[in-house]
Chain A
Amino acid sequence: MTDLPVYVLERLFALQPDTLWRTWTEADLLAQWYGPGVETVIHKLDVRPGGVWLNEMRMKAQSGYQRAEYIEVDPPKRLVMVQSNTDSAWKTMANPGMPDWPKTMLLEVTFEPVGEGTQMQISWSPHDASEAEIACFAGAVEQMGGGWEAGMAALEKLLAELSLS
């Protein structure tokens, strides 16, 4: 189980780690930013190792549900949780659109002070995943992460042509 594919996103924010930390750990703040353009309803937020975050994202036709369990809570530096898609009863389920997408993911968030601001990094990797799930996620990450190298540029050009035709 070495070399699991990891998807990393980083962003520099203009406030101190303490403030960033609050936006992940206070339900009224978390609900305001998590999930773009959807109404986020936090049913439970218990930020301590073993505690859970039960999250509902209300969309037009239906809701999406996620359950996270905290593994590591190290304010204001590091937050590690195991996150999965669930049904409305908070029971883990496969993604209906892509059965081999990992059902459970390890999400690690780190906050690093940079000058007056904070570099926030999120890392996603499959958790307790089957080989098919790991392959599925690896394929996705490689596409996102430039694993294509020269091929990627050609692909983009081709896709642009396809969308024009």
Chain B
Amino acid sequence: MNIGLRHSSGYSNLDSVFAALADPTRRIILARLMEGQASVSELCEPFAMSQPAVSKHLKVLERAGLVTRAVDQQRRPAQLNAEPMAAALSWLETFRDFWEGSFDQLDTLLMSLKSDDNRKD
């Protein structure tokens, strides 16, 4: 739905952020990176997955801007960049707020309908 409240360019990357977050393996990788930076081999540990497979997930996260990787170090540790997620969350909050806000208004409307009904009775 078109929430229409915020269409700033800050949201242009959100589709790739959401697509990146839609995968459970990538969410586990992000959760791990919240504890601190990690190399590909460290990230492989919780998964029965090859390094190339984890690297592929990291590339998706990098493209979405969720992860940055050091270029000047041998092990190229991955690091979380939470700012795009903050944008994603604020988009979703807008979506939820639309309905919650509408429901609040509906509550108010129902109260006035209720008092109308009482007057008729």
Contact = CB atoms under 8 A, between A and B. Distances in A.
Interface of A: 9, 11, 13-15, 19-20, 22-23, 29, 32-38, 57, 59, 62-66, 83, 85, 95-101, 105, 120, 122, 124, 132, 135-140, 142-144, 147-148, 150-151, 154-155, 158-159, 162-163
User: Which size bracket describes the interface of B in this complex?
Assistant: 35 or more
Main secondary structure of the interface of B (DSSP, over half): helix
Contacts of B1: 66, 83, 85, 105, 124
Contacts of A154: 31, 34-35
A116 B24 CA distance: 42
Nearest to A93: B2
Contact of A23 (B28, B86, B88, B106): B106
Interface in B53-104: 80, 82-83, 85-86, 88-89, 91-92, 95-104
Contact of B4 (A29, A62, A144): A62
Nearest to B3: A64
Contact of A147 (B27, B88, B105): B27
B119 interface: no
A136 B15 contact: yes
B49 interface: no
B85 A97 contact: no
Given A36-B98, A151-B34, A13 B15 contact: no
Contacts of A37: 101
B43 interface: no
Nearest to A37: B101
Nearest to B113: A19
Contact of A132 (B19, B80, B107, B113): B19
